Structure 1
Amino acid sequence: MSKYFQLFLATTLIMLLQQHSRACDELAPFSRQQPSADYFNPWLPFYYRPNAMIPDYAEFDTPFIENFLIDTGNNVDEGNNQMEGRSILGDLGANLINAGLYNNRFTPRNNFRPFANLANRIPFSLNPNILNNPLANFDACTGTSDESGICTSGSSCTVFGGLPNGSCTLGRVCCINKVTKCGSTVTLNNTYWQSPSTTTSAASTCTLTVSLDTKLREQKKPVCQIRLDFVSFTTAQPTAGTCTDTFQVGGASTVVPIICGDNAGQHMYFDVPSSATTPTDVQLMFSFAAGTVTPSWNIKIAMLPCGATYLAPKDCLQYFTSATGKIKSFNWQDVASTATRQLNNQKYNICFRTELLSGSEANEMCVSVCSVKNGGDAFSITTVPAFPPGNLDTNAISYAATLSAVGTTIHYNPPPDTVVNAVCLYDYLIIAGARDATGIEADRYCGNALNPFPVGNAYYYYYSSTAGGLPTSIQVCTSIRPFKLTYQTDGTEAAIVSVPVNSNTPIAAAADTANTGFCIDYLER
């Protein structure tokens, strides 16, 4: 604020108060709930009470967006998303008054203080510490390098070990906090955890603790959820689907699967015990086997407050908030490979916010496999059995790496010598209510193509080339809301052998061959 504008405000206020000083001295402070009809309030022409809806902050990048001059918990009702009315000068005027900006314009010898009690007479939401306490708010911000940070003073940024990268209001800086050491503890929202510059070839671990506690000044609101964004993530590839280098999360309420490999661009949400109830430490941990590739990572850690509108639904490890997008299983890459990239022991939900399209909610979501340019396989979750035409002997069964499959089992050999073989029983993707353009519907998908065509019984395909599904992927759509996918893999890519069949033995399944996982494009409409 320029000195001329400050002088203008001061002069205007003096003139108003001189005209009505006697009335102001005799009357009680102004009440915005019940203003006196007999009281001439010089601020009344500036007062308004908007009924605007507070917008939803769907992007996780701004989990602590709030008015930087308003004490939290008083002025915004997240239950009905209504704004309180306030003076057009807003909290800025009150804080400038409380900070003595006007009063200090008078010399110490002058005892005349016309603005000494003015803040008590004006319907402002007061936050008298904002100018004296740079830690009063930690709004999210984006620096000049497009990295997320928090707004604070330059000195506070230095104390926290961050680097200024851009500016915020009130002379604050956008502080980007980065941690590059193992064994560190972080308490700031939007912290980046980066791999150390020095690595070792011996077996080792690298951990980071995320401390959640409402007693910490930098955590103004209780935290109920954490989102991790893998800006970069490279570790050794799995062996037959099992990670040798591992990344895992401890201390979360949500069960987070162990991952490894290539995961740049992926994200995770997980619930944590509310820090309003008890302080919580969440551990992020890498474990490395000896002699593996040099690992590297850059993980953004966002702390999401309880009750925020942008939290992921319960038990959703991934959450997408746009009408179109791409979903990939962890470690899926568009690369030609003869090794298994699909990870074992993946059990999680992928959820989607129902978007508004042309003023109304989407009523359908359609999915189809991604296009690939570098030899990758966009859908490869299990290996489907195939049968030579005219030969149903169990010894003649083979397994094709090109067919789709649905359901859980396939039968071959005619009754009563029926043999059951599992298809989408151990590794699968569930899309509830999904059907193709002809109305063929299936919930559980696997194989090497996304197609609801039924696998059927090998006996009825005696003269066909296969008893599996089809080798082509097509689009399938579901109208079941909320839109959700469920992905699961078991703990092995090896064959599951069934001993003499009884209720206590598993259903036999063939060994999987170089499964890659999936890459899917989705569209709400």
Structure 2
Amino acid sequence: MSKLYLLLSVILALQASQACDGANQNEGQVATGRQQTQNYFTYAYGYTPNLWNALYYRPRLPALVYASPYEGRIINRTPVSSPQFRTNLQEDDKDGREDEEGKNEANTDDKEDRFALGGLITENFISTRPVEFNSGLSTFNPWGQKIKNIVNLSPVSVNPNVNYQVATFDSCISRNGDAGICASRAVCSLFGGRSSGVCNLGLTCCVNAINTCDGAITLNNTYWQSPATPITAPSTCSLTVTLDSKRREQIKPICQIRLDFVSFTTSQPTGGTCTDTFEVSGSSNIAPVICGDNSGQHMYLDVQSSALSSTDLKLKFNFAVGTQTFPYIPRSWNIKIAMLPCGVSYLAPKDCLQYFTSAQGRVSSFNWHDASSTLTRQLNNQNYRICFRTELLKAHPTKATQMCLSVCSVTNGGDAFSITTVPPSGASSTASATSSAATLSAVGTTFKDSVKGTRAVCLYDFLLIAGGRDSNNVEADRYCGNALNPAVIGQGGLLMTEPPPGGLPSSVQVCSSLMPFRLIYRTDGTEEEITAVPSSNIIGAAADTANTGFCLDFEEK
């Protein structure tokens, strides 16, 4: 019998030693986890949140009793009146004494406590970060080591039966109309967001904004705003949008990014060429370089599914010296960045830089603005598609069969349609002819000049409306000049005194029944005259004069 007692004593001593070693090992893991987290947030967000004093992770924080199991996993809820209790995740008091009432309650609610608080530390908290905080599991939990091994072997998955506090990140609209995501207040604060409005299950509508340069974001519906301090030139300001389905804040694979320019003001182009530039890299479709006034515009950017590989999409401003004109307008922007999951119905068609999903609205070229100006507002090197979803009309239970376009009405002296300047014929290239030609519409690619031979018209700068025709069934595909009109001399019984390719000085409604409805806008790299080089198949073109681009009202019928 004495040998048996001796054997039991040795076994108990070995277990006690292993328990101490496990506790020391966990303390080392906690320290490593803290350092990794601080390094991550310093790199990605420019600051280090005070994670280790926060309510959602405090190893010795007494668990709270809530009115329902769901509230028990949302830390910010106000607890119902109930005595606090100790669990097997807490250490004894220094003097070794325990509260008898707390001990009884811990036994009664032991299952729920391990499920809620333990799940919060191991699943809810760990999986929201790119680093793992497995040391949050207590050595006193008999399942702790097993769960830690599983977490280390594979990515943490979401239990659908648990109200995982950042499991959906669904979009929401805040009280003041900003877009946000649904998350717990703790997670919102962790990412530097502000709570504004409520979501289901006690979550808050979290609005996230960043106003620094050279930062990185991973959250949907983030606003990138210009810094509070004035921007100096020359300088750059960029933002990296990291897409990776392994990140817990990106639950679903992402296939598109939509940029909404809530506000956007940089210097105007010089001769159509941007000196201040905004450019995008990392997308599979090509976004043109833009500048000037672009408030209200948007872009859809295609990216490879983040389930296949991680993608870094980079947005970058370049500010040049001496490009601001008087009166000085500060450079500023506010860009909403929305992450669109693969397979959803609201994705833009492939290679569509802009996509409109209403039966009627307004579409304009970048930097078009209703303002009188002698400057060239039309941007060079534009080449993109504008797509329109075929809508179900309210008046009829069928989809639209045609889309009609009309120039916008202007009240501040702006020009609603100005793409190239119609050149006068060489036979009558007088000043009066040049002035008159600058008000006319134009279609087609080239015309025969009696002196200079073949000349370009809507060849280098144009708006393509496939199948576009007026009320007289006069049809054209390429439109340019200073009015939207498919008619030219000799068509539709029209007789003009101006030489070809002059059209009409007035715009008309142009409709197309070709589906899917879309436009193609293209400009070349200069507003200057192009010299013909027959040996290189370069067709000459006249110089452009203060082109503004286009603004059109569209309506599906």
CA distance in 2: counterparts of 1:364 and 1:318, whole angstroms: 19
**Contact preservation (8 Å) 1:201, 1:291:** no
User: Which position in structure 2 is the counterpart of 1:473?
Assistant: 507
Q: Figure out how many residues of one structure are paired with residues of the other and give that number.
A: 411
CA distance in 2: counterparts of 1:395 and 1:167, whole angstroms: 65
CA distance in 2: counterparts of 1:438 and 1:396, whole angstroms: 30
Letter of the structure 2 residue corresponding to residue 150 of structure 1: I
CA distance in 1: counterparts of 2:509 and 2:495, whole angstroms: 29
How far the C-alpha of 1:276 sits from its partner, in A, is 0.6
Letter of the structure 2 residue corresponding to residue 438 of structure 1: N
1:365 aligns with 2:396: no
CA distance in 1: counterparts of 2:259 and 2:380, whole angstroms: 21
User: Which position in structure 2 is the counterpart of 1:305?
Assistant: 341
CA distance in 1: counterparts of 2:233 and 2:70, whole angstroms: 57
SS in 2 for 1:384: coil
**Contact preservation (8 Å) 1:392, 1:462:** no
User: Which position in structure 2 is the counterpart of 1:85?
Assistant: none
1:379 aligns with 2:379: no
CA distance in 2: counterparts of 1:287 and 1:162, whole angstroms: 27
CA deviation map 1:285-331 (0-9, x unaligned): 00000244431000000000011110000010000000000001000
- Closer, same or farther: CA 455–340 of 1 in aligned 2, 3 Å: farther
1:138 aligns with 2:169: yes
- Closer, same or farther: CA 169–490 of 1 in aligned 2, 3 Å: same
User: Which position in structure 2 is the counterpart of 1:68?
Assistant: none
CA distance in 2: counterparts of 1:300 and 1:140, whole angstroms: 13
Larger Rg computed on CA atoms: 2
- Closer, same or farther: CA 164–462 of 1 in aligned 2, 3 Å: closer
| Unaligned residue ranges in structure 1 (runs of 5+) | 1-92, 117-124
User: Which position in structure 2 is the counterpart of 1:405?
Assistant: 442
CA distance in 2: counterparts of 1:204 and 1:456, whole angstroms: 54
CA deviation map 1:69-107 (0-9, x unaligned): xxxxxxxxxxxxxxxxxxxxxxxx9979999xxxx9xx9
% same residue: 58
Letter of the structure 2 residue corresponding to residue 256 of structure 1: A
CA distance in 2: counterparts of 1:434 and 1:301, whole angstroms: 34
- The TM-score with structure 2 as length reference comes to 0.69
SS in 1 for 2:257: strand
CA deviation map 1:210-239 (0-9, x unaligned): 000011100000000000000000000000
User: Which position in structure 2 is the counterpart of 1:185?
Assistant: 216
CA distance in 1: counterparts of 2:475 and 2:293, whole angstroms: 33
SS in 2 for 1:261: coil
User: Which position in structure 1 is the counterpart of 2:529?
Assistant: 495
User: Which position in structure 1 is the counterpart of 2:245?
Assistant: 214
- The TM-score with structure 1 as length reference comes to 0.73
User: Which position in structure 2 is the counterpart of 1:329?
Assistant: 365
CA distance in 1: counterparts of 2:226 and 2:416, whole angstroms: 30
Letter of the structure 1 residue corresponding to residue 516 of structure 2: P
Where has structure 1 moved over 3 Å in runs of 4 or more? Answer: 93-99, 107-113, 391-399
- Closer, same or farther: CA 246–455 of 1 in aligned 2, 3 Å: farther
| Unaligned residue ranges in structure 2 (runs of 5+) | 1-67, 75-81, 83-100, 113-157, 325-329
- Larger strand share, 1 or 2: 1
SS in 2 for 1:385: coil
Matching residue within 465, 470, 475 for 1:431: 465
- Closer, same or farther: CA 422–262 of 1 in aligned 2, 3 Å: same
User: Which position in structure 2 is the counterpart of 1:270?
Assistant: 301
Matches within 5 A, 1:145-164: 145-164=176-195
CA distance in 2: counterparts of 1:137 and 1:363, whole angstroms: 38
How far the C-alpha of 1:418 sits from its partner, in A, is 6.8
**Contact preservation (8 Å) 2:489, 2:496:** no
Give the superposed CA RMSD: 3.2
CA deviation map 1:470-519 (0-9, x unaligned): 100000110000000000000000000114x34x1311100000000000
CA distance in 2: counterparts of 1:393 and 1:198, whole angstroms: 52
CA distance in 2: counterparts of 1:483 and 1:329, whole angstroms: 17
How far the C-alpha of 1:134 sits from its partner, in A, is 1.3
* 397-406 or 489-498, which deviates more: 397-406
CA distance in 1: counterparts of 2:358 and 2:506, whole angstroms: 28
Matching residue within 509, 512, 517 for 1:483: 517
**Contact preservation (8 Å) 2:433, 2:498:** no
How far the C-alpha of 1:171 sits from its partner, in A, is 1.8
CA distance in 2: counterparts of 1:194 and 1:98, whole angstroms: 33
